[in-house]
Structure formats: C-alpha cells, structure tokens
Amino acid sequence: MKRSDFKEKKEYDLIIVGGGITGAAVAYDAASRGLSVALLERDDFGSKTSSATSKLIHGGLRYLANFELGLVRESLRERRILENIAPNFVYPVPNMIITDKKFIKSAKFAIKLGMILYDILSFDKKFTWDKSKKLPLHRSMSRAETISEEPLMEKNDLTGSLVYYDCASIFPERLTLAFVKSALYSGAEAANYMEVTGFTFDGNKVTGVTAKDKIKNKKITVSGRLVINCAGPWADRVLNLTGKNPHEESLRRSEGIHIITKKLTNKHLVTAMTPSGRHIFIIPWRGYSLIGTTDKEYLGSPDDWKVTRESIDGLIDEINTSFSDKITISYSDVIHSYGGLRPLVENQTEDVYESSRKYEIFDNSKDGIEGLLTVEGGKYTTSRNLALHVVDEACRKLRIKAVKSETDKNYLAGSEIEDIEAFVQYCIQLYDNCDKEQVDYLARIYGTEIENVMQIAARDKKLSEKLNKDGEIPAQVVYAVNEEMAFTLNDILFRRTGIGTIGHPGKDVLKKVADTAAKILGWDAARKKAEIDSAEKIFKKP
C-alpha cells in the first residue's frame, strides 16, 4: 500500500475528494469496474466521522419509527454483505432492549411489534458465507431472565427485555483502511495528507483540483474528467473552493460523542430509552463498555469542533437516568472519550436525532458547475451501496457504459477468510509461541495480513514485546509505517493499531511507539516530542 504522488500529466476518470468510508468505498467500486481513480484525503484516511462511530454495523431499528422501511431494508442487506466481505471485522452481537413502564416507546408490546417487522425486513440474514455469522430471530426475556443475564439492569419498573442481533465492527478504522487497500489493489491511486485547495476550470466545467501535499510540502494539480466530493461534514467547504458558493447552507451537522468506562454489561449490547426519547447504548468492547451516543446539532466550523466537558456531562446524565439505579457513573469513571460530526441532508426536522440518515448524490451542474458530484449524508453501514450508486451516476455523466458492481461478491483486502473462527484457531496453532488471546486479537484485526506483522516481529525480539493486554506489539508500528501509509503517531495509535483507542496506554508505551516510528520516519527529538504532545492532547479528558 504505497502513497501516490499522482501523475500531473495524467487525466483520471474520477478524482475523489475525501478518504473517509464514503470516499474509500467509491474509490474501490470505481477502480474495481475499470475506471482510473485518484483519491485525495486532507488528513488521514477515516480520521474524522468514519472513526467516530459506535462501532456498529446495524440495520437501523430506530428508523422504523419514522417508517423509513427502504433505509432499514438497505441497511439490513448491507449488514449481511459486510459480514460476508469483511468477516474478520464484522460480528454478530446480541442487543438487549430493556423494557419498562415509563414510556410508551419502551413498552414491551410496542418494541415487540418493531422486532417482528425488523425480522421480516432482514429475511436474508441467514444467507451468510461464513455460517458462524448467521443471525437468529429476536426473543423476549422476562424481568427475571433479564436480570439474570445482565444484573446491573435491575430496576423497579423493569418489565423485561427483547433481544435481537445486529453486528459490531471491532475496528472501523481498519475496516475503512481495508476499503482503501481494496481500491489500491484494484488499480486506484490514493494519498492521505493531500489537501485539496481549489478547482481548475475550462469555462464552467471542472477539469481537476489543486492540492497541497502536506508530506512533501509541495503543490500539485490533478486532472480528471469528473470530481466527486465525498468530504462528509466538510462537503460544503469543498464546494466553496469552486468560488461559486453553491447551496452553502444546505448541510446540517450533528455531534456524536462516546465515552469508554469499566465493563458494565456481561455480553449484551444494552439499549435504553432516555427521558428525552432517544436511544442510548452500552456496548461491550475489548473488556470495557463503550457508551453512546449523543445526537446534537452543531453550528459552526467543522474544523473547530471537539469533544467538550459539557457534552460528556450531558451523556453521563442520560446514562444515570436511563438504565438503572445500579448504574451510576461520574466524570472520573470516563477512561477515554471520542466523537465526531455527522453530515445530514434533511432540514425538515427540528431535532437532528429525528433527521434521516439517508444520502443524496447531488449533480452540481444544477448550480452551473459541470463535472462535479457531491455526496451528502449517509451512514457507515450503507457506504458500500452508496458507492455503487455514485459510480453508476458517474458513469452516466461520463457517458461510459457502467460495468456491474461486484463489490458485494468479493472479499475486502486482507479479509479473504471463509471461516473466521477456523482461521483464528489456525493462527493460534501457527504462532504457538504467543499467547492465544494475543493471536486471537491480531488475527481478527489483520486478517490474512497477520503473517506480514508476525514476520516483522520474528526478525527482532524487541518488536515482539507486548504493549497492552490485547497483546499489541511494536511490529505493528513498523508495518503501519512501511505498508499502511501511517505518517504520524496519531495515525499509528488510533487508526492502524488499537494501542490508543481505549485510552492512554501509559507514558512508557507511548514513548516506545514513538521511538519505533521515529527510527523509520526520521523524526528528530523535537518532532518526536511534538508527536507525543499531539497524542497527549487527544488522551486528555476535556
């Protein structure tokens, strides 16, 4: 996986601006159909909205309340497809919705009706390539059964629960990276830290983009027949670079934050209703609880957004009033927090929680700008299908006969695994000099690429030393820099490995990771300190 310099004399079929999950999926779909593709990302791949998820690949049960049956059905189908093409990343997870007497929305009969419809809409959920990924039908649990399974859910007005299955993505950042890799292996060219600074025109037709290469500190021009704006919450800012100011006020942004605490549930993702009528989750993740999310409109520049103490306190209040008296957390219980902005396309609802997660593909020729498409809205789960429609529209614009997309039929790069549990057991036997839990973890986040990481570790004993309880090792740092376009300490800590995603790993580990990266990337003492300081800012609670 090598970073492209892009050929200035080459005209690409598509230039894709934005390397989150949407841009990565579009690049993969287009390249797999034979189009020449240039993918440009201002920062690191998947470093914004795509890394701020609840780590779920879900059908969107709550969208049933708005009668968005099409969106739910699309999400359920795409959930199954992601189980198939990314078997090492996407797994079934039991979701327990606790029921009580407080609200009509949390009454058992009301949720039961939704569950029946959800099961009907997910009629194909058993048709998975890996049979261990089959999802069963929902079931009801009594008050006693619910408390037996999840003791901390006991409360006076608890009537029981309903349990259904959705899916979790154990590492969304690496799943996004798998789409980028799949695009590259299909012939696309891509570069992170390549900031688009403007557009080139021939009359009113876009002919390409100008960009600043932030790694090599130089300006370049990339020519293309069609530019696709996949900048998510920054989509309107990219449009403003045209100088045409098209529909500047159309994009709404919603803030979503998450916190990580000690483990609160046994094995279930537990859902409750907040006093304001929103759903809130406690998700089991890597031996901790991941709790979220908020859904609050954000007004202002997306560049200025950050997780605030106010948002954390607000989420804590919702947790303490939504589950049971046995769950009472405080600010001091927060191990780590993260979040991001979601782009929304709907302006009709006052509350962004009620806004649809549908997407739009906007042809900017309606604004007098030819050769530019803008993608707005959407959600992680449906990104692959969104990409299919984007490329279909691109082919129509380019007057190319569209080859049928096959991205639903092929494994993503590194995920070529027919039976994930058998693969993990094979790896445990192959690397029997390592702890079983360590190999289990590494086999899932690297898939078939685990061999490359283990070969690096075998060459140098220092690169095989455990850095955390999951068994992550310095060899991953080497692999991230040499093979996965990691250029900063934050790239390594938060998007190539999980060393930083469950909170501060400790100063010794942080230094070890920085020292390993510095040797390969040629950082001097000042640069290494700056990288560590940048990571410390992320780890520091607001």
If asked whether residues 281 and 341 sit together in one domain, one would say: yes
In the block, tokens 């938060």 appear at 494
Whether 268 is covered by a domain: the verdict is: yes
Say if residues 37 and 16 touch (Cβ distance below 8 Å): yes
If asked whether residues 180 and 163 sit together in one domain, one would say: no
Tell me, what DSSP letter sits at residue 491? Answer: I
If asked whether residues 286 and 377 sit together in one domain, one would say: no
Q: What CATH number should be reported for the domain holding residue 485? A: 1.10.8.870
List the end-to-end C-alpha distance of the chain, in Å, as a whole number: 36
Each residue's pLDDT tens digit, 108-142: 787 888 899 999 999 999 999 999 999 999 999 99
Say if residues 293 and 257 touch (Cβ distance below 8 Å): yes
Whether 316 is covered by a domain: the verdict is: yes
If asked whether residues 432 and 521 sit together in one domain, one would say: yes
Task: Report the C-alpha gap between 22 and 93 in whole angstroms.
Answer: 24
Three-state SS for 118-158 is HHHHCCCCCCCCCHHHCCCCCEEEEHHHHHHHCHHHCCCCE
If asked whether residues 428 and 490 sit together in one domain, one would say: yes
If asked whether residues 438 and 528 sit together in one domain, one would say: yes
Containing structural domain, residue 530: 420-539
**pLDDT at position 219 over 50:** yes
Whether 403 is covered by a domain: the verdict is: no
Chain centroid to Cα 69, Å, comes to 23
Domain C-terminal end among 345, 368, 384: 345
Cβ atoms within 10 Å, residue 386: 26
Whether 72 is covered by a domain: the verdict is: no
Whether 230 is covered by a domain: the verdict is: yes
Say if residues 12 and 36 touch (Cβ distance below 8 Å): yes
3-state secondary structure of 246: coil
Q: What CATH number should be reported for the domain holding residue 132? A: 3.30.9.10
Q: How sure is the predictor about 277, in pLDDT bands with cuts at 50, 70 and 90?
A: confident
Whether 29 is covered by a domain: the verdict is: yes
Number of domains in the chain: 3
If asked whether residues 247 and 259 sit together in one domain, one would say: no
- In this structure, what token pair is assigned to residue 453? 């990481």
Each residue's pLDDT tens digit, 234-266: 999 999 999 986 555 567 899 999 999 999 999
If asked whether residues 231 and 258 sit together in one domain, one would say: no
Say if residues 305 and 298 touch (Cβ distance below 8 Å): yes
3-state secondary structure of 87: coil
If asked whether residues 517 and 379 sit together in one domain, one would say: no
If asked whether residues 387 and 481 sit together in one domain, one would say: no
If asked whether residues 183 and 129 sit together in one domain, one would say: no
DSSP string, 383-428: HHHHHHHHHHHHHHHHT-PPPPP-TTTSPPTT---S-HHHHHHHHH
Each residue's pLDDT tens digit, 361-416: 999 999 899 999 999 988 999 999 999 999 999 999 999 998 999 999 999 999 99
If asked whether residues 224 and 329 sit together in one domain, one would say: no
Whether 182 is covered by a domain: the verdict is: yes
The model carries a pTM of 0.96
